Structure 1
Amino acid sequence: MKAESKFAGVLLSIFALIGMVFFVGFGAFFLLLMGKIDYIALLITVGIVLYLLIVFNILHFFQTKKRKIIFGSIAGAAILISTIAPLKDVYTHLIPTVDAEVDISKYEPFSQFGKVTTLKEKATLQLTEDLPKLDGATALYPLYAAIAEATYPEKSYPSYDSEVMVSTTPYAYENLFSGKVDMIFAAAPSASQKKTAEQKGLELTMTPIGREAFVFFVNQKNPVNNLTVDQITDIYMGKVTNWEQLGGKDDTIRAFQRPEDSGSQSALQSLMKGMPMMKPPSEDIVTGMDGIISEVSQYRNYKNAIGFTFRFYSKEMVDNDQIKLLEINGVAPTKENIRADIYPIASEFYIVTAGTDNPNVEPLIEWILSEQGQALVEKVGYVPNKN
């Protein structure tokens, strides 16, 4: 009888073990799906404690009060230690964040919000038909929306589907390559975008229409105010990993990046001049330009973070006071310094075409390059072409 009881106890222990493994495995799978990695240790600890509790009961281990106290103390301590990471995660997400999102619809041509920059006088070019279809980078949308309001007939131009839309740099290039739009306003194409155009037999024509600063920024709490170009490239190569190496506090550098083919990521790759860039963890690749500003500025994050964007977007469209733009080689990214050609990471932005047959594309480009068009570039907030 005693042997049978012992066999039953072993059998129950095995079933308990199978149940614990199933419980922990199933729970860990869902935690991974939800990105809650910090909770897995707690799940495993609870599973083991429950399993031992069942087994010790089967084996009649808790026959004395002392054993119950010892088990309870060890189990409680294990669970308490494994809750540290989840509690930290909960606390982190209770801290408010800074909203860096831009309502792009307020920049639509002829919008009721009045965000579109206008000329005092009527534009010398007035298009009534065969309107070129425009697309481009988010940061340049206020400019080409203003161009459309100056030269296109008054009507509604939804930013998501009209002759004047904005779909971000990667998708704007895709729309240009597929013939959905006639011209885009963007930074220079990336190497892969050039290759795609070549494979499709398209000849890209890039017309510079203004100049802009590529800027790097940190959280307002970061004591570092200036970096050199070499220091930035060292950061993104992974050679410099701590702010203390740059005159800041002892804290690991969290260097955010953007997805491939985005305008700002292409600008970073251009700055690197072929030097190998470190591969960031997936959580440090931020989709939108508003996203990268939000990540660096939000209160829960990140005195140790650094990000990049374009001056106009960060100062004119977002103007988030929780970030600060860094001086580069001791020079601030101001319009005056871009105009004087002393800010070291200023570059041209373009109208890019790929062989459109729209008869009004060339007249529109000529007008944008004219004195009146360049005055509008200036008034919107960009630096016009050099005279």
Structure 2
Amino acid sequence: MGNKSYLWKIVVSIFVLLTVSFFTFILLFMVAFSGNIHFIPFIISAAVIIYIGYVLVLFDVFYKNRKRIKIFWTIAGIILVVCLIQPVYKWFDNRVPTVDAEVNIYQYEPFTDENKLVQLENEPTLKLEEPLPKMDGATALYPLYAAITEHVYPEKEYNPYKSEVMVNQTHEAYTNLIFGKTDMIFAAGPSDAQINQAEQQGIKLHLTPIGKEAFVFFVNSKNKVNRLSLDQIKGIYAGEITNWSEVGGKDDSIRAFQRPQDSGSQTALQRLMGDTRLMEAPTEDIATGMGGIINEVSRYKNYKNAIGYTFRYYSNEMVKNKEIKLLEIDGVAPTRETIRNNTYPIASEFYIVTAGEPTGNVKELIDWVLSEEGQALVEKAGYVSLKSGE
């Protein structure tokens, strides 16, 4: 009778094991699919503890022994709490908004109903026919060259990701230009790495300035710091200034976010730093599709002690996030007026970039953008034209 009872308990324990394993697998799949991979250790630990606890009860290991029960559940509780630390942190971290993920590119797609593109009062003097120059560029400049498209290109569908008029991040746009996938890009100036990449392909990048923009730094709107000097900016991004109290703020460490290498704003930061060494960019672990882990530059999270950077138009016109504020630099706020009169200290030109001297329809389009009509469109779109300060 005793052997039969013992055998029955083994059968039951195997059945419970299979059942727990099945539901654990389903739960792990759902968690992985939703992207909450940090809960995986907790789920596995909870499943193992539940099964072991059941087996110990089934085989009377805990029978009339309160001390063993207390020890087991104490250890189990410690394990579960430890496994919960990271997912709970990630849960709170994910509640902090990410600033650069709020732009719907399709609202600027040319020739679509109720898009946000600006219009000139009169018909443009240029209308292009095939072959149409293939465009690409930075997200912050898409509203401009999409408006150019709507004025001088024939009316049809221009999908932002698969047409003659695409939009990518700056480093992708430069790669597309260098390898002949596009004829012209609208972007900030290239990084040294992008110049070298072009030279390796036997290409000399040709930059045509078409407007001016401000490179801006921003913080959480609740941060009491409203202005920094250029030297303080350099000190922060060199890792020499590490607390907001050093620049007139609260006693709180500075979280200085950076952008990916070869992005337009990262290149602008590197140019700003000059000979001052830029500190290592903060990174976070990102799970890949095959279960591996890679390190990526952390996206800007709007913590109360964070600082980030971008271009004025992207921040003011596209994102319009009321939870951040732009800082004055050397006592000057980044506005169209201060860019126009050259008083804002980190204003720079943006370009149409081509692989070599422009010819044909590409040259015609560039000439039109530099014309009075084209520069008026630059202004109307919310940027600062080259002619506005004259």
TM-score, reference length from structure 2:
0.77
CA distance in 1, matches of 2:148, 2:206: 20
- SS of equivalent to 1:348: strand
Query: Are residues 1:174 and 2:175 paired?
Result: yes
Q: Return the offset for 1:119.
A: 0.5
CA distance in 2, matches of 1:75, 1:82: 11
Letter of the aligned partner of 2:78 in structure 1?
A
Of 297, 301, 309, the residue aligned with 1:296 is 301
CA distance in 1, matches of 2:67, 2:209: 80
Q: Return the offset for 1:245.
A: 2.2
Counterpart of 1:85 in structure 2 is 85
Deviates more, 1:180-189 or 1:233-242: 233-242
Say whether the 8 Å CA contact 2:194–2:262 is kept in structure 1: yes
Q: Return the offset for 1:160.
A: 1.5
Letter of the aligned partner of 2:120 in structure 1?
L
Counterpart of 1:227 in structure 2 is 228
Say whether the 8 Å CA contact 1:242–1:252 is kept in structure 2: yes
Letter of the aligned partner of 1:163 in structure 2?
E
Kindly tell me: are residues 294 and 272 of structure 1, through their superposed partners in 2, closer, same or farther at Cα, counting changes over 3 Å? closer
Kindly tell me: are residues 304 and 47 of structure 1, through their superposed partners in 2, closer, same or farther at Cα, counting changes over 3 Å? farther
Counterpart of 2:162 in structure 1 is 161
Q: Which runs of 5+ in 1 are unaligned?
A: 1-22, 286-291
Letter of the aligned partner of 2:257 in structure 1?
F
After TM superposition, the structure 1 = structure 2 runs for residues 265-344 of structure 1, keeping only pairs within 5 Å, are: 265-283=266-284, 295-297=300-302, 302-344=303-345
Q: Which runs of 5+ in 2 are unaligned?
A: 1-20, 287-296
User: How many pairs does the alignment contain?
Assistant: 352
Say whether the 8 Å CA contact 1:38–1:89 is kept in structure 2: no
Say whether the 8 Å CA contact 1:130–1:359 is kept in structure 2: no
- SS of equivalent to 1:218: strand
CA RMSD of aligned residues (A): 3.7
- SS of equivalent to 1:205: strand
CA distance in 2, matches of 1:39, 1:88: 12
Kindly tell me: are residues 174 and 48 of structure 1, through their superposed partners in 2, closer, same or farther at Cα, counting changes over 3 Å? same
Counterpart of 1:246 in structure 2 is 247
Counterpart of 1:261 in structure 2 is 262
CA distance in 1, matches of 2:275, 2:266: 13
Using the aligned pairs only, state the percent identity: 52
CA distance in 2, matches of 1:117, 1:341: 25
Q: Return the offset for 1:178.
A: 1.5
CA distance in 2, matches of 1:101, 1:172: 20
Q: Return the offset for 1:74.
A: 4.1
- SS of equivalent to 1:360: helix
TM-score, reference length from structure 1:
0.78
CA distance in 1, matches of 2:370, 2:121: 18
Query: Are residues 1:186 and 2:200 paired?
Result: no
Q: Return the offset for 1:91.
A: 5.1
After TM superposition, the structure 1 = structure 2 runs for residues 107-118 of structure 1, keeping only pairs within 5 Å, are: 107-118=108-119
CA distance in 2, matches of 1:382, 1:230: 27
CA distance in 1, matches of 2:85, 2:212: 47
Say whether the 8 Å CA contact 1:293–1:323 is kept in structure 2: no
CA distance in 1, matches of 2:54, 2:244: 48
Say whether the 8 Å CA contact 1:39–1:86 is kept in structure 2: no
Say whether the 8 Å CA contact 2:158–2:164 is kept in structure 1: yes
Kindly tell me: are residues 169 and 76 of structure 1, through their superposed partners in 2, closer, same or farther at Cα, counting changes over 3 Å? closer
Kindly tell me: are residues 296 and 91 of structure 1, through their superposed partners in 2, closer, same or farther at Cα, counting changes over 3 Å? closer
Q: Return the offset for 1:317.
A: 1.0
CA distance in 2, matches of 1:245, 1:32: 43
Kindly tell me: are residues 232 and 76 of structure 1, through their superposed partners in 2, closer, same or farther at Cα, counting changes over 3 Å? same
